[in-house]
Each structure stands twice: as C-alpha cells, then as structure tokens.
Amino acid sequence: MKFQLSAALVGLAATVVSAQDIQSGPFTLHIKGTKSNTEIDGYAVSCHAGAAIEGLCYAEGVAVPSNSITYYFNYTGYNQVGDDQVGSLIWNEPYTDENGNPASVEQEMGLVYQPNSNVAAPLFGFSQDIFSVGFDSEGELFGYDYYDDAKFVAGQPPTDYTPKAYYQWAVCWQYFTGYYYQSVAWVQNGAPHNPTCEPVVITKVDI
Ligand SMILES: *[C@@H]1O[C@H](CO)[C@@H](O)[C@H](O)[C@H]1NC(C)=O
C-alpha cells in the first residue's frame, strides 16, 4: 500500500508540474572514453533514425556549433539527487511548417531496450518513455533511479527510495530502428553484452 501511494503521488506530481518545467541550456555534450588507451574523444550529435526519430550518435573531434549538436535540459525542481536536478534531455527537431517556414519541436530523450541485451540506445522521438537524467556539479550526465532490485526481498516491498545517480554510459556500435551507428549507449548493469562498447563520461559544455 505504501508503495502504491508513493507511486501515485510521483505520478500526480509529474502531471501537475509538467507545465512548469524549468529549462537550462543550450549546451553541447562532450564524450570522453575512460579506458586508458581510449581513442574516444568527441561529442554527441543527433542522427537520423526514422521519421522524426533521432539517435544520439558519437562524432569524433571538436564540435562546430549547429542545431544537431545543441541540447537542453528540462526539470521540474521536484526531483533531485542530492543538490542535482533530475529531468529530461531535449533536442529541437527542425521541420518545415504548413506555411513552408522553418519550425522546430522539442523531443525528450528515451531509451530503446533490446530483449537479448543489457545495452539500451537513447532515442529522441515522441515516446512517453522518458529517461530521467541529470547533471552533477562537474557537469557530468547521469542516469537516475530510486530503487535497486538487487536489494529486493521476496514478499517485502522495498523501503529505500533514495534517489541515486548512475554513470553507465558507453559508446557502442548499435542497431536500432533499422540503422547501425556508433552512438551513445546506456549499459543497464554489469559488463556490456555488446562487445563494441567502450565506457565514456558525458559532460555538458555550455554554449
Ligand atoms: C521545457 O521547458 C520549457 C520552459 O518551461 C517549456 O517551454 C517546454 O515546453 C518544455 N519542454 C518539454 C518537452 O517539456
């Protein structure tokens, strides 16, 4: 009962405050490999992955400002890990409106999972399945969760709902929505099932 109540409250809070998001940005996302011999040093770029769907691809080198590498962060102020806000990563999808003028629409980042892998691919689209993320005091992007099923006990609902930051980013060759890209990945737990993955840190660079 306690769990159901708190879950209902979280849902209610999300509904009530969604119209009052606070937005930060724009920024680019620097991607750096963490292995000692890594060659990964570049930035994130939105890459075509279907009609109005983009992946979060990896590009080598130094970012040249453009819309495809510019991101924003929306948060409500009601959810934090320590002092760090939790919210969603946003990219502006450009399109041509009915009068032929350039327009754009905000897309929030979600994750696409594969049944036989522990590696998920971030995707910007119109899914309601948003991946909650945040930036710590060093500007490092983290993934958010508030319970840990490794601590579950049969028949006893969890009691610890402490918000936590997880750093499980990688750059991998990934296949999603019919495209094969070297792109940002979220390794759900343990060693990545995909052998092309390299662990990375992703840091926000204000522009
Ligand atoms: C992000 O926040 C801004 C500022 O409140 C708001 O205008 C925009 O609609 C929000 N975007 C999304 C996708 O919620």
Nearest CA to ligand 1 atom 5: 21
Asked whether residue 6 carries a pLDDT value surpassing 70, the answer given is: no
100 alpha carbon – ligand 1 mean position (Å) = 24
The whole-number pLDDT of residue 126 equals 74
C-alpha of residue 193 to centroid of ligand 1, in Å = 35
Taking alpha carbons only, the member of 25, 168, 172, 169 closest to residue 85 is 25
C-alpha 169 – ligand 1 centre gap (Å)? 25
Can you give the pTM of this predicted structure?
0.89
Per residue in 50-71, pLDDT tens? 999 999 999 999 888 899 999 9
Give the integer Cα–Cα distance in Å for 41 and 38: 8
Q: Is 70 exceeded by the pLDDT of residue 88?
A: yes
Pocket test for ligand 1, best of 71, 74, 75 (most atoms within 8 A of CB): 74
Q: Within 6 Å (CB) of ligand 1, which residues are found?
A: 21, 23, 74, 90, 106, 108
In the chain, % of residues over pLDDT 90: 85
Give residue-wise pLDDT tens across range 186-203. 999 999 999 999 999 999
pLDDT band at 127 (very low <50, low <70, confident <90, very high): confident
How many CA atoms lie less than 13 Å away from 196 in the CB half-sphere? 11
Query: Probe ligand 1: pick from 21, 24, 90, max atoms within 8 Å of CB?
Result: 21
Q: For residue 29, count other CB atoms closer than 10 A to its CB.
A: 22
User: Which residues are registered as beta bridge partners of 104?
Assistant: 94
Nearest 5°: phi and psi at 122?
A: -65, 140
Residue 43 CA from chain centroid, whole number? 14
Query: Residue 103 pLDDT more than 80?
Result: yes
Instruction: Give residue limits of the domains in the chain.
Output: 7-206
